[in-house]
Amino acid sequence: MGCMRYMSEAHLRGFERYKYSSIDTSFLSVYVMHPFWNYCVKFVPKWLAPNVLTFVGFLMTVVNFILIAYYDWGFEAANSETGNTVPAWVWTVAAINILIYYNLDGMDGKQARRTGTSGPLGELFDHGLDSYSAALIPIYLFSLFGTHDLPPIRMFFVIWNVFLNFYLTHVEKYNTGVMFLPWGYDFTMWGVSGMLFVATVFGPEMYRFSIYGFTVANMFEFVLIGSGMVSSHPIIARNIYLSYKNKTGKMRPMWEMLRPFFAFVWLFVITVVWSFFSRNDVINKEPRILWILYGTIFSNIACRLIVAQMSDTRCDAFNVLMWPLAATVGVCCFPYYQQVFDTDLTSDIERWILYGLTIFSTLAHWHYGYGVVSEMCDHFHIRCFKITKQTVTAEEELQDVVADANPTENAEEV
């Protein structure tokens, strides 16, 4: 990485003290998925690094994005009067890949415990990639509805709802020190996969019907947003409140407790301005690229928060990638081009600006991820994708037995 470093000594010392703590009360997770993952992981070779499982699962979501984008770049395949033009086999592959991602994500921590390689790197690697998947996964479903039933501006708020649900969980841990695994995650993964399988069996056209003007896309938005408001947000607020009341959390002052929201809200405001006030209506012309840009910057913000909460350091109030984004939005939404420059910003120029910023932000985020992982590997003298130590101590074996017996409180991250 040369002289450019992303981790301070305070970060690395914090990671040395870090101990994963989670509580999972989802009936689906505890009584169905954990026993299933405990069984499946026995067939995974012990020489296989847990982070390989994590990364392979993430690649399945990338494959889905590329595959569906190839057949439906502009989310218009479902608009056809003769039916969705995406081949049926694409939905099957996408559904299977989602299940692979979900199950590997559940098995990686168990593989870490059985190989004696548990540590903070795996959790950071896992949740960092999950923050990227938070942008990719909802994009698959947009191709089921098309821009007629789900216009890009409504896609925008769907994606931001997913961002919010993911981010609040880590804000909660930043303040409480405990990862309360949300119920919605397991049901969402099965729900997404199920919707894609249904599109294969019955055809995606079934997602285009409506009753008195209320469409399946409306139901999708209602369930997605409503489930977070009912099953996640109040519980997160309550857990943070109880951690202060019982003095079991980090006990940060009010502004420090709210600090993780600053960068998140700034990103939301900037993206709202571009989405609504673009001079060339870029949200309707290049929605897919716009979602990737927003998702990449969100992932960077989320990753930096995860680093802060795991190392018990102060999180960022602003993200460096938002500076070029804010400058771009200022250029693309400037209302006085004709008066000042005697010309206007053309649609092609705004598109090229969007492409360039997306490439820049993606490379910058990848560099950040590579740098953080490399610095942690150097500090702990480990390899990200290779097991360098396979001995399991008696204490770890005992933790393994306890975790498998009581999955509601299992430290299953790598």
Which 3 state secondary structure label does DSSP give 24?
strand
Cα(158)–Cα(166) distance, integer angstroms: 13
pTM of the model: 0.92
What is the percentage of the chain residues whose pLDDT exceeds 90? Answer: 75
293 burial level (CB within 10 Å; 0-12, 13-18, 19+):
buried
For position 211, what pLDDT does the model report? 87
Closest CA to 132 of 54, 43, 19: 54
Cα(239)–Cα(267) distance, integer angstroms: 26
For position 193, what pLDDT does the model report? 95
What number is the average pLDDT over the span 61-81?
93
Q: Cβ distance 351 to 293 under 8 Å? A: no
Closest CA to 263 of 179, 334, 326, 330: 326
Per-domain boundaries in the chain:
9-409
Secondary structure percentages of the chain, helix, strand, coil, to 5: 75, 0, 25
Backbone angles phi, psi at 77, to 5 degrees: -60, -35
* pLDDT tens track for 344-389: 889 999 999 999 999 999 999 999 999 999 999 999 999 999 987 5
Q: Is residue 2 predicted with pLDDT exceeding 60?
A: no
Q: Is residue 29 predicted with pLDDT exceeding 50?
A: yes
Closest CA to 305 of 393, 192, 175: 175
Name the one residue in this structure whose structure tokens are 């889905």: 64
Q: Is residue 393 predicted with pLDDT exceeding 80?
A: no
DSSP-derived pairing of the beta strands 22-24 and 179-181: parallel
Per the prediction, the chain carries an average pLDDT of: 90
* pLDDT tens track for 146-173: 999 999 999 999 999 999 999 999 999 9
347 burial level (CB within 10 Å; 0-12, 13-18, 19+):
middle
Q: Cβ distance 112 to 386 under 8 Å? A: no
* pLDDT tens track for 250-264: 999 999 999 999 999
Cα(218)–Cα(208) distance, integer angstroms: 11
Backbone angles phi, psi at 177, to 5 degrees: 85, 0
Cα(13)–Cα(49) distance, integer angstroms: 24
* pLDDT tens track for 107-121: 999 999 999 999 999
